[in-house]
Amino acid sequence: MQELLYASSYEPRMLSAPFLLAFVVLTIVAAYALLVRGVALTRWSMVGFAAGLAVYVVAQALAASIVSPEAATAAYRFGVGAIPLTSTCAMIYQLALIERYQANRRWVALALVISAAFVPPAVLTDLFIEGVRVTPSGMFFFVPGPLFPLGLAAMLGWSCIGFFAVAVARRAEPSRTRRSMMARAMVSMCTAWLGTIDVVIAYIDGPFPLGWAFLTAGALLSLRAVVIDDVLRARALDDLVPNAVIYAVASGAAAFAMVSWVTPVLPWWLVPPALVLAFGGVRALLSTIGALRGDDERGDTTLQRVLAQFAARVHRLRNEADIAELTGEVVELATGARPQLLLASTDDWSWRTPDGQPLLESATPDPLLLGWMLDYGRPILRDELDSMRLDDLRPALERLFDAHGASALVPLANRDEVVGMLVLPAREGERALRREALDFLTRLDDRLAAALVFVRMARQARTQVAIEREVELAAVVQAGFVPPAEVRTIGPVSLYGSWVPATQCGGDWWAVYALPGDRALVTIGDVTGHGVAAAMVTAAARGACDAVVELSDGEPDLIVLMRQLDAAVRRIGAGKFHLTCFAAVLDPGAGQVTFASAGHTVPYLLRPTGGAELELQALVARGNPLGAGAEPSVRTAHKPLAPGDVVVWYTDGLVECLDAEGKQFGDRRMQRLLKKLEPRHLDPLGVHDAVTAATAAHRAGRKHDDDMTLLIASVAR
């Protein structure tokens, strides 16, 4: 191999010129694919394809100016050894072009391993290249070895797989633009592969290699495909591309000059350093020229100024519709496409448009995608899906692209949350987004997401203020119909009650009405839930109760009362709320209590027995909750009422309050507490204080989650 480094092995000749022309064109293709910011898989496969062919034509260029058979043999071994890998890169490029790489990546990996296995024996042994011969044109050409047909078969096999896949995909492709793009890509690749005609020359002792002509034509067609048809879906053509081409051409000219005039007088071990110095000198010269031209003068671009104006304007907007309109105008200026803005809901996984229209489930991002989008952190291009490692997320992402007909998705992330998404539509014949447009969208992301979060927070603040006003109003209304916390006397009956809401207003209520004959009507109710809505239903129920008592002329029918309460709750609550209620008429003169229950917590009647414990009776009456949809099924019941008796009503919030371990106070604890009350302290205020003290000790300072109402009535001895 060291013969390639000897200056004496070379004698520059014009025969090298055609091959150097092919090398320059292939270098341009490789430089473009290497330096543009496009889809990674198609870029690198194109780089591998062009670089492999460049190695082969460089070997031919050297062979045309080599005078040593050993050096020519070494050059051809390097060039031919790269061909199987070149064909594999071509197959990868074709599969990536039709978005079939991920489905065939295992076979591609196998092809890469097999192609790589050809390189060592091709370069180091004579199994593929036995030697060289001199053609009638006067240049060396390789003589095939025994395993050369095997390498040729591998090359043709990988090529046929790629061409067949593209042909099948082209027939199934609905877009005429993409069909044309695939056709031109196939033509360029086929033209390049016609360079294998040199194999025929190797076997029939042809006069001069012709593969360089097909390689040059194929490279030019490939260059047209990547630049005009944009098969690489290039994000940006940097200034590095023309600079790299200029550098490659200048370096080649410098190397040719060094080999022609300088290295012949140097020993072989000084040839590599001399070439390195030549390349460094060319690089320094081009850098100096660039500095003199003022390449470092980079003022703000138009897109940067547009972005600055957007940032200044978007934070003055106060609703999503205006933000969507401004964003659409700005993004259309930057990309040429009018985007659609989608907004994530703060309450669930649903999404909507800025005007409030909910998205269909098929057009809604899968929740699993949102975490991946946060990690990805940049615009997602449809043409990049085949080069991404998405695994089981790919179907969901493809479904999202298809549902919106999108070419790009731009997640709008704020901290650890995706608050929205920009959808750029796919258009027939459109080119991929360039670097400037993608950079613009990436930088727009933060500003737009922050503006959406600000609007959301402002709306939530307004909603919170409105809710607080409603709560204050409901609390004022409810405080107006809750009896004051004082002992009230109706004939021989004394009553005392309290109401402690879980929030500013609640769903519990109670009322006491004086009836003729020293009788008292006691009602207590509990509307499901608490807060403003429950308070409104409670107000309706209390109003209905007042109306029924007022129209009863002092003789209220408990069944009629329950039915009217059911109608009121059903009408106001629209079937979403229900009311448990207990109504009782205390008649000390007749010595009985008449009562009815609509699914309410069972009250207790306490009676002194002269012993250490009180007699405890439950006032049980069957009935279903009111306003829940079914017709009320309520019955009245009776119990004897004697002087000294005490009746205890309460709502479920009292017995369901929790201690530090999450255990409820419970009915059993309530029963034991009531039975052990001191007989001499059976006045309403004393019983009330004993029960509230026990429940407060049980809660031990914990906040109660439900309204708590307690009402005590006692009959004088």
Decide which of 484 and 299 is more confident: 484
> Where a domain ends, among 249, 274, 294?
294
Spatial CA neighbour of 7 closest among 54, 75, 67, 77 = 67
For residue 54, the domain's CATH number is: 1.20.1070.10
Same structural domain for residues 406 and 290? no
For residue 683, the domain's CATH number is: 3.60.40.10
What does the pLDDT read at residue 435?
66
Decide which of 269 and 230 is more confident: 269
The tens digit of pLDDT for each residue in 639-682 reads 999 999 999 999 998 999 988 888 999 999 999 999 999 887 78
Percent of all residues in the chain with a pLDDT value above 90, rounded to a whole number: 18
Cα separation, 451 vs 290, in Å, equals 41
Could you tell me if residue 469 is inside a domain? no
Could you tell me if residue 473 is inside a domain? no
Same structural domain for residues 333 and 448? yes
Same structural domain for residues 263 and 204? no
Decide which of 351 and 436 is more confident: 351
Could you tell me if residue 467 is inside a domain? no
Cα separation, 78 vs 422, in Å, equals 50
What does the pLDDT read at residue 297?
41
Residues 6+ apart with CB under 8 A from 602: 618, 619, 620
Taking residues 522-542, report their average pLDDT: 83
Could you tell me if residue 323 is inside a domain? yes
Taking residues 108-136, report their average pLDDT: 87
Cα separation, 508 vs 709, in Å, equals 7
Same structural domain for residues 71 and 88? yes
Token code pair at residue 647: 């009746």
Percent of all residues in the chain with a pLDDT value above 70, rounded to a whole number: 85
What does the pLDDT read at residue 672?
92
Question: Chain-wide mean pLDDT for the chain?
Answer: 81
Has residue 578 got a pLDDT over 80?
A: yes
What does the pLDDT read at residue 582?
96
Same structural domain for residues 207 and 123? yes
Has residue 511 got a pLDDT over 70?
A: yes
Decide which of 105 and 562 is more confident: 562
Decide which of 217 and 593 is more confident: 593
Taking residues 450-478, report their average pLDDT: 74
Same structural domain for residues 413 and 444? yes
257-261, 289-293, 528-532: which is most confident:
528-532
The tens digit of pLDDT for each residue in 32-53 reads 777 765 667 777 888 888 888 8
Has residue 172 got a pLDDT over 80?
A: yes
Cα separation, 462 vs 14, in Å, equals 82
Cα separation, 704 vs 56, in Å, equals 83
Decide which of 400 and 477 is more confident: 400
Same structural domain for residues 290 and 306? no
Spatial CA neighbour of 50 closest among 19, 92, 90 = 90
Same structural domain for residues 542 and 615? yes
The full DSSP string for 119-158 is HHHHHHSSSSEEEEEE-TTS-EEEEE-TTHHHHHHHHHHH
Q: What does the angle CA 30 – CA 35 – CA 36 come to, to the nearest 5 degrees?
A: 105
Has residue 701 got a pLDDT over 90?
A: no
* Strand, helix or coil for residue 345: coil
Could you tell me if residue 549 is inside a domain? yes
Cα separation, 85 vs 154, in Å, equals 10
What does the pLDDT read at residue 521?
95
Owning domain of residue 263: 239-294
Beta strand 708-715 with 646-650 is antiparallel
Same structural domain for residues 499 and 622? yes
Decide which of 252 and 396 is more confident: 396
Could you tell me if residue 468 is inside a domain? no
Cα separation, 305 vs 663, in Å, equals 63
Same structural domain for residues 282 and 208? no
The kind and range of the H/E element at 246 are helix 240-257
Q: Considering just the CA atoms, what is the radius of gyration of the chain in Å?
A: 45
Has residue 520 got a pLDDT over 90?
A: yes
Mean pLDDT lowest for which of 73-82, 263-272, 456-465, 699-708?
263-272
Cα separation, 622 vs 582, in Å, equals 10
What does the pLDDT read at residue 597?
94
Has residue 1 got a pLDDT over 60?
A: no
What does the pLDDT read at residue 44?
83
Number of domains in the chain: 4
Residues 6+ apart with CB under 8 A from 170: 98, 179, 182, 183, 186
Cα separation, 678 vs 219, in Å, equals 106
pLDDT tier at 611, thresholds 50, 70, 90: confident
Give bridge partners of residue 615 from the DSSP assignment.
Answer: 607
Same structural domain for residues 209 and 65? yes
The tens digit of pLDDT for each residue in 353-401 reads 988 888 888 888 888 888 888 888 888 888 777 767 777 888 888 899 9
pLDDT tier at 298, thresholds 50, 70, 90: very low
pLDDT tier at 236, thresholds 50, 70, 90: very low
For residue 309, the domain's CATH number is: 3.30.450.40
Tokens 């987004």 locate to 433
Backbone angles phi, psi at 576, to 5 degrees: -95, -10
Could you tell me if residue 474 is inside a domain? no
pLDDT tier at 581, thresholds 50, 70, 90: very high
What does the pLDDT read at residue 292?
61
The pTM of the full predicted model, rounded to 2 decimals, is 0.46
What does the pLDDT read at residue 233?
53
> Where a domain ends, among 249, 264, 294?
294
What does the pLDDT read at residue 3?
61
Could you tell me if residue 660 is inside a domain? yes
Same structural domain for residues 504 and 641? yes
The tens digit of pLDDT for each residue in 62-102 reads 888 887 888 888 888 888 888 888 888 888 888 888 878 87
